[in-house]
Structure 1
Amino acid sequence: MTAPQPFSQACENNKDAILEVLQLELQSYAHVLEIGSGTGQHSVYFAPNLPRVTWQTSDVTAHHDHINTWHSAYPAPNLKAPLAFDLTCDSIPFNNNSHSSYDAVFTANTFHIISWSLVQTLIELVSDTLPIDGKLMIYGPFNEEGRYTSASNRHFDLSLRQRDPASGIRNKEDVIALAQNHDLVLSNQYAMPANNQILVFQKRAQV
């Protein structure tokens, strides 16, 4: 795959491992919203390899040109142009020309970039949007029991916080508790390369 600009080496490195999990977890799902599509590299790889799934990209508008560059180079019939989504001011975006709802949400490398208050907003919005049994899949690094899982994650976290004190690697237990408070229950977790993980949550009915 020849890379149009911009290019993320991290996306190139992790795409196969993430796809394996998505192929397992999305067997009975049809419409995925990707939150924080970034360069768009993941979307052009995942969509053709998940042909029964409609893959809807989204991000802040400043990233749309990047995403559309990749979409133009590698189009797929089930790959949708990015919708505007800014957690600081927007609700979950919907494409009125396509489906009116999502049964799964995927996000990669976002929780450690955005502030904890925006993590809370994201979880709340996703919970309000997903139907019962809908899935939220989160890829990225997580601390466990308040500890870094590797020296590289520790260095990465320090660099994140130097750039933005509100960012940083989140504690997995905090994310699980937050999700559970919004009726999203951890259903699976996967160890991934480079000290990352995928957490899979499923929407339960309120009791």
Structure 2
Amino acid sequence: MRTLDPQTSAPDGALSSPAVARNTVPILAVLRAHLPARGRVLEIAAGSGQHALAFSAALPGLDWTPSDPSPDARASIAAWRAGEGPPNLTEPVALDCLDPATWPDGPFQAMVCINMIHISPWTATEGLMALARRVLAPMGLLYLYGPYREAGIETAPSNEAFDASLKARDPAWGLRDVADVAALAKANGLALTLRKTMPANNLSLLFRRVP
């Protein structure tokens, strides 16, 4: 599982990420405002599974499907689900944005992808957008969260340092430009409908699948 936060084993064997504890509440506020009351949600790169646990519990009308290509991540998600998971939290699936053979059948009313785009090659973002085009229902929501670059807006020093550390780990990683992400989304039939500033120099980007 790719993460830049220390991971420790929770008592039930699940993993715990400090970043999740910091950003769950502000992300949930955005999701509450824009997700439908009912439907299917596909979470991409669900990591430890804490977001899936928190969001599915807070949004009981949504069937929440977490996914991750990492067996370690899926084991953690399954452990959280077994210990505390609500009925609407499904078993994790082994979805890899780079492998269309692993993509589930739609339609989904929403896709949620938190802190993946900068910790993966650009080809993963290309796969993410192609997946959204394939499985999102018309006017379905794609929610992205993380740090980005924006033309005409100075990048925070902490984000510049973070970007440098990412590229030191893997030259294919790094902060992406919002304009590049939006252009790729548009090429896949998705329109950027909202940019929202979030704590700690992050952004929420919301896209809708154009009918």
Residue 9 of structure 1 is matched in structure 2 by: 18
Of 84, 97, 100, the residue aligned with 2:94 is 84
Deviation of 1:91 after TM superposition, in Å, equals 4.2
Q: Give the letter for the 1:68 counterpart.
A: A
Helix, strand or coil at the partner of 1:13: helix
Q: Structure 1 residues 108, 68: closer, same or farther in 2, change over 3 A? A: same
Of 158, 168, 171, the residue aligned with 2:164 is 158
Contact persistence 1:31–1:55 (CA under 8 A): yes
In structure 2, runs of 5+ residues without a counterpart are 1-9
* Whole-angstrom CA distance in 2 between matches of 1:203 and 1:89: 21
Helix, strand or coil at the partner of 2:36: coil
Q: Deviations over 1:77-127 (max 9, x none)?
A: 1101101112232346337xxxx5211100000000111122112111211
1:173 pairs with 2:179: yes
Contact persistence 1:59–1:86 (CA under 8 A): yes
Q: Give the letter for the 1:52 counterpart.
A: G
Q: Deviations over 1:16-63 (max 9, x none)?
A: 000000000113451100000100010110001001111101111422
Q: Give the letter for the 2:53 counterpart.
A: V
Helix, strand or coil at the partner of 2:139: coil
* Whole-angstrom CA distance in 1 between matches of 2:162 and 2:75: 28
TM-score normalised by structure 1 residue count: 0.90
Worse-superposed segment, 83-92 or 27-36:
83-92
Q: What is the count of residue pairs matched by the alignment?
A: 201
Residue 204 of structure 1 is matched in structure 2 by: 210
Q: Structure 1 residues 54, 21: closer, same or farther in 2, change over 3 A? A: same
User: Among the aligned pairs, what percent are the same residue?
Assistant: 36
Residue 65 of structure 1 is matched in structure 2 by: 75
Q: Give the letter for the 1:67 counterpart.
A: I
Deviation of 1:141 after TM superposition, in Å, equals 0.5
Residue 3 of structure 2 is matched in structure 1 by: none
Q: Structure 1 residues 204, 134: closer, same or farther in 2, change over 3 A? A: same
* Whole-angstrom CA distance in 2 between matches of 1:47 and 1:110: 20
* Whole-angstrom CA distance in 1 between matches of 2:12 and 2:197: 27
TM-score normalised by structure 2 residue count: 0.89
* Whole-angstrom CA distance in 1 between matches of 2:160 and 2:204: 19
Residue 103 of structure 2 is matched in structure 1 by: 93
Q: Structure 1 residues 75, 176: closer, same or farther in 2, change over 3 A? A: same
Contact persistence 1:136–1:201 (CA under 8 A): yes
When the two chains are superposed, the root-mean-square deviation of aligned CA atoms in Å is 1.9
* Whole-angstrom CA distance in 2 between matches of 1:89 and 1:176: 22
* Whole-angstrom CA distance in 1 between matches of 2:157 and 2:170: 20
Residue 30 of structure 2 is matched in structure 1 by: 21
1:135 pairs with 2:141: yes
Residue 109 of structure 1 is matched in structure 2 by: 115
Q: Structure 1 residues 19, 107: closer, same or farther in 2, change over 3 A? A: same
Q: Structure 1 residues 161, 83: closer, same or farther in 2, change over 3 A? A: same
Helix, strand or coil at the partner of 1:79: coil
Q: Give the letter for the 2:19 counterpart.
A: A
Q: Structure 1 residues 92, 133: closer, same or farther in 2, change over 3 A? A: farther
Worse-superposed segment, 166-175 or 68-77:
68-77
Residue 53 of structure 2 is matched in structure 1 by: 44
In structure 1, runs of 5+ residues without a counterpart are none
